[in-house]
Amino acid sequence: MCKKGSGNLKAVLFLEDDKDQRNYLVDIARRYDADLTIHQTELVSTAMYMAMNNEIHAFFIDVVLPDGNGIDFARKIRSFEQYQFTPIVFITGDIQRELEAFREVHCYDFITKPYHEKVVEETLQKILVDYLGMEKRDADNKFFDLEFKSQTHRINIKDIIYFERMNRKIFIKTLYEEIMYKQTSLSQILEQLPAQFMQIHQSIIVNLNYVERIDFKANELHLKNGGAPLPVGTSFRKKVGEQFSDIR
């Protein structure tokens, strides 16, 4: 069983077999928080020991390792309740080849080889500042809480694209993952959200910041990220039209 940390101290684990590349990632991480606890290793077996004896808040995992496979390690990590939603960033030279496996373990992001310092810094910032720093930003009401049995999963509100009720479940589409949540009413969800969210259908709430345009002939809303268009319900058409009169 994982030992719990104390206070607001955060810890990350780097599983990377190339020592120079591992040190490079660690050095960049240190720029954001010198007090960050960093566990690092080249071995899957050691990484598993570290994960079970420490509270890890984010994993950075190379795919090809000397004593195993980073994807298999991630699958194992996800099987533990305390790590079901912990951010995992894969380090890989071939995203396309591993894409399906990455989706399976709900990968938070990728770092591709060869490294580009700006991309690495942006990825680390998303984890260390936007995600691990979330406790410092609670007062700003920037997060949406999901209750799963004995734990709470927090989603950065700005990353949520839409909520959809389907087959008696709530599906939450974010920039990085899709989460299936328990049955609850959309009205209860809407009450917890800021003004940038609007219900456009009896089963859909959308973040207005991700809306590209409205097609009123087809009764569809198109998203900036290029995803499938969302239907606009008849009873919501007037309200949606008033909101988006300038981007039809």
- Helix and strand numbers (H, E) in the chain are 7, 17
Q: pLDDT value at position 7?
A: 43
DSSP secondary structure letters along 5-71: --TT--EEEEE-S-HHHHHHHHHHHHHH-TT-EEEEES-HHHHHHHHHHS--SEEEEESEETTEEHH
Task: Looking at the structure, tell me whether residues 86 and 106 fall in a common domain.
Answer: yes
Same domain, 109 and 145: no
Amino acid at 153: H
The torsion angles phi and psi of 115, rounded to 5 degrees, stand at -70, 145
Q: How far apart are CA 210 and CA 196, in angstroms?
A: 10
Q: What is the pLDDT of residue 89?
A: 92
The pLDDT value given to residue 139? 35
- Does residue 51 form part of some domain? yes
Distance CA 90, CA 74 (A): 9
The CATH number given to whatever domain includes residue 52 is 3.40.50.2300
4 occurs within a structural domain: no
Q: What is the pLDDT of residue 180?
A: 87
* Both structure tokens of 33: 């928080």
Do 108 and 177 fall into the same domain? no
Q: Are residues 233 and 180 in the same domain?
A: yes
The CATH number of whichever domain residue 209 belongs to comes to 2.40.50.1020
Residue 69, phi-psi category: left (phi > 0), alpha (psi -120 to 50), beta (remainder): beta
> How many domains does the structure of the chain reveal?
2
Look up the pTM and report it: 0.54
| 145, part of any domain | yes
Q: Are residues 35 and 123 in the same domain?
A: yes
CA atoms 44, 46, 52, 55: torsion sign: negative
Q: In terms of domains, do 104 and 39 share one? A: yes
Give the separation between CA 34 and CA 227, rounded to whole angstroms. 39
Segments forming the whole domain that contains residue 194: 141-243
| Final residue before a domain boundary, out of 118, 135, 152 | 135
Distance from C-alpha of 171 to C-alpha of 182, rounded to nearest angstrom = 9
Report the chain (248 residues): mean pLDDT per 10 consecutive residues.
51 92 83 75 96 94 92 94 90 74 81 80 79 47 71 82 92 89 86 88 93 90 88 91 64
203 and 108 both lie in a single domain: no
Same domain for 16 and 129 = yes
Domain boundary among the residues 135, 154, 175 is at: 135
The predicted structure's pLDDT at residue 65: 93
Same domain, 101 and 201: no
